[in-house]
């Protein structure tokens, strides 16, 4: 076990012990003991529909994030590669990125209704812009010396992009994808709570309105765990694709 992992596990254990002690001594509805939260999680998993609702939410997440990933990489690459595309789209991309995505939910309901399409659109809006902007920035920040060297060896436009610019921009692109994944989880929950009470969002509202805080915290911790796992998967892909960073001592 690495020192970093051991430190993290120790901090989680310490927090759980403190929370358990405070929960038992205070006997507050707002802070149930960890043992009660774990018990509620097991109960929800067995007969409370947690697994089914989580699968439904993850389906929305995957659809929205996949769409955001494809379009974000494509539009970001075009903006980074071609000045005319940047001039056409940059002002809109940055303005929409600065605006709170949640503000577009009423318009999405008008366009797509209260069904799955609206929830997918919310996930897309939460994650698309950061992926597009990071991709654009990564490509534009490629060292010009690398580009000139490749051109001096006769590299054509396509080879220049795929063999020089794209690999050099990967660290920035993967950072955008990692941030986009975290935002996609937020979009998933927001869409389910504000558009249609379904999935884990519906469970949050159900147990929150009933003041069943042990079950509520169990659901929230499940969402946090899913977000962490997905982020770690993106980080693993990042390390695989950008192994050269370690080899030349960037990390």
The pLDDT tens digits of the residues spanning 31-74 come to 888 888 888 899 998 887 889 999 999 999 999 999 999 999 99
Q: Tokens standing for 27?
A: 């006997």
Distance, CA of 233 to CA of 2 (rounded, Å): 18
Query: At residue 251, does pLDDT exceed 50?
Result: no
Q: Which of 8-12, 109-113, 158-162 has the lowest mean pLDDT?
A: 158-162
Helix, strand, coil percentages, rounded to 5, for the chain: 85, 0, 15
Q: What is the pLDDT of residues 172-200, one digit of tens each?
A: 999 999 999 999 999 999 998 888 778 89
- Give the three-class secondary structure for 81: helix
Contact (Cβ atoms closer than 8 angstroms) between residue 33 and residue 20: yes
Percent of the chain with pLDDT over 70: 91
Binned at pLDDT 50, 70 and 90, residue 210 comes out as: confident
Backbone angles phi, psi at 154, to 5 degrees: 90, 20
Q: Determine whether 207 is exposed, middle or buried from the number of CB atoms within 10 Å of its CB (0-12, 13-18, 19+).
A: buried
Contact (Cβ atoms closer than 8 angstroms) between residue 65 and residue 127: yes
Domains of the chain: 48-247 (1.10.3720.10)
């Amino acid at each position: 076990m690495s020192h970093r992992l051991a430190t993290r596990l120790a901090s989680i254990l310490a927090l759980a012990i403190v929370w358990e002690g405070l929960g038992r001594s205070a006997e507050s509805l707002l802070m149930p003991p960890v043992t009660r939260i774990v018990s509620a999680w097991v109960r929800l998993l067995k007969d409370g529909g947690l697994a089914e609702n989580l699968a439904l939410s993850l389906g929305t997440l995957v659809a929205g994030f996949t769409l955001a990933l494809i379009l974000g990489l494509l539009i970001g690459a075009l903006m980074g590669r071609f000045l005319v595309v940047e001039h056409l789209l940059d002002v809109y991309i940055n303005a929409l990125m600065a605006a709170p995505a949640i503000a577009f939910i009423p318009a999405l309901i008008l366009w797509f209704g209260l069904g799955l399409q609206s929830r997918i659109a919310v996930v897309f809006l939460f994650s698309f812009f950061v992926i597009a902007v990071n991709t654009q920035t990564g490509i534009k920040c490629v060292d010009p010396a690398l580009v000139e060297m490749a051109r001096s060896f006769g590299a054509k436009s396509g080879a220049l992009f795929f063999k020089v610019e794209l690999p050099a921009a990967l660290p920035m692109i993967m950072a955008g994808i990692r941030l986009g994944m975290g935002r996609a989880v937020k979009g998933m929950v927001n869409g389910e709570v504000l558009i249609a009470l379904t999935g884990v969002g519906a469970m949050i509202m159900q147990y929150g309105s009933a003041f069943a805080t042990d079950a509520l915290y169990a659901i929230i911790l499940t969402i946090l765990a899913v977000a962490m796992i997905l982020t770690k998967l993106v980080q693993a892909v990042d390390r695989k694709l950008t192994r050269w960073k370690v080899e030349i001592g960037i990390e």
